[in-house]
Structure 1
Amino acid sequence: MADINVTPMVDVMLVLLVIFIITAPLMTPMLKLDLPQAAAKALPQPAAVLHVAIDANGLMYLNDQVIDYPALEIRLDAAGHQTVPPDLQLWADKSTRYETIARLMSAAQAKGVNKISFVTDAPR
């Protein structure tokens, strides 16, 4: 008479049990909070976006217009003093010196433009 070997089935069941023991606490929220209700104003609409591009030679463009660094700082200062400062989208050539990018980011942050995003190409 042939006997059925249940050892592999017990091993699989124990592995599943361990997986459920580990994942069960993650499925429920850890803290149960009764949060207060508040009537808040709606958030302001997204601010305007400044498009700054830097080519491989370090030449800067603001919204497709060539601009030098001092003039760009003046524009960043004016943008930083708006009630809702605009976002800065930075388009930099991959061979642009890091020093140029860091200088621009530092100036933008000092002028009050704190939301900086890097624009990249999607992989082909």
Structure 2
Amino acid sequence: MSRESDSAAGEPAMAAARYADGSITYPPHPLGPDGTERTGTIDLSEHTATVVTWTTSTATPPGVREPNHLAIVEFEIEDESVRALGQLTTNDIEIGDEVQPVYAEELRDPEAGIREPASQDWDGYRFEPAD
């Protein structure tokens, strides 16, 4: 997750990058797929996405909830698409469902890993069914 800008709710943005050729990537990269420069960012948390596929992991890394429902989702933004992988808030989901990103202060337990808790960010976005 990128902290390039904040959303209206004061949460970190789910920032994707837009490039001179019109392409969008998530997470953002310094250069676009064709080597073009970044021209701006888009906060994906302000958009809905469609579930492309999803799965449930029952063998999760330390500190990650079990079972862990994950999805690949696709955002359509101004005739461009960008995909993201993330946790789901529920397993009551189907391919083709519309979802929205929701901020989570803790995607995993920082005390359960092998790294020092202060050495990385533990927050991010999950996807829940759109209203």
TM-score tier (shorter): under 0.3
Higher strand share: 2
Q: TM-score, normalised by structure 2?
A: 0.19
